[in-house]
Amino acid sequence: MMDLIQDLNWRYATKSYTNKIVSDEKINFILEAINLTASSCGLQPYRIYSISNKELQEKLGNNSFNEQISTSSHLLVFAAYNKVTTEHVKDMINLMASERNISNDSLKGLFDMMDSYFKSKSDEENRNWADKQAYIALGTALIAAANQRLDSTPMEGFDSKNFDNILELDKQDLHTSVILSVGYRDEEKDYLSKTKKVRISIDEMVKKVD
């Protein structure tokens, strides 16, 4: 396995992709990594759309300066919950009970705590919370892609209304939070492929408190 720091140095926010298609195996690796990442309360308040249909990618990319939406092999859409419902909490508790082979009753305390927590917040607050969880998933996907030597671009530059309409996310009580294109860099065309990574020093970023 490659060293993680090497993976992270290798990756960059790719601007130009070749038309080489990413294998299902590699895309599934990223999706599995996303599924294994952490989320607050373990609720995983998002769904991932993995899109490799070029026509659909073209439509989604309308109104965006990011050509990567249509020119990448795959586009991952991180679609977060619009709100958190008692059903969501129930589903999670039921899954935990069955996966761990324990009774639902033994999880009643946890259920009540989570349910009352989300109910104490507005839908908008819970939606913002869900967006944050989706960004953690995005971070994991970035690392997983680099580990597979797949190029990728995290993007906020897209028309979220257009995405939500085309993917009919409202029907699922979801909205587009953030997106990630995945593919293979076109080293010739991409001016960024050979430029040095720009980062502040670790000393500037970190305050160590002993």
Ligand X SMILES: Cc1cc2nc3c(=O)[nH]c(=O)nc-3n(C[C@H](O)[C@H](O)[C@H](O)COP(=O)(O)O)c2cc1C
Q: How near is the Cβ of 80 to ligand X at its closest, in Å?
A: 13
Rounded distance between C-alpha atoms, residue 81 and residue 130, angstroms: 6
Which pair of tokens denotes residue 83? 């709100």
Rounded least distance, CB 93 to ligand X, Å: 31
Binding flag, residue 66, ligand X (CB under 6 A): yes
DSSP 143: H
To ligand X, the closest distance from the beta carbon of 157 in angstroms equals: 3
Interface positions, 122-141, toward ligand X (CB under 6 A): none
Contacts for 153 with CB less than 8 Å, ≥ 6 apart:
13, 14, 15, 66, 68, 72, 180, 181
Q: Is 4 in the site for ligand X (CB under 6 A)?
A: no
Half-sphere exposure of 70 (CA within 13 A, CB side): 12
Tokens 């909205």 found at:
175
Do the Cβ atoms of 88 and 129 come closer than 8 Å? no
93 binds ligand X (CB under 6 A): no
Closer to ligand X by Cβ: residue 75 or 114: 75
User: Nearest to ligand X by Cβ — which residue?
Assistant: 157
CA-nearest of 25, 33, 69 to 51 is 69
Residue 187 touches ligand X, criterion: CB under 6 A: no
The minimum distance between CB 65 and ligand X, in angstroms, equals 8
Contact call for residue 157 and ligand X (CB under 6 A): yes
Residues that bind ligand X (CB under 6 A): 12-13, 66, 153-157, 178, 197
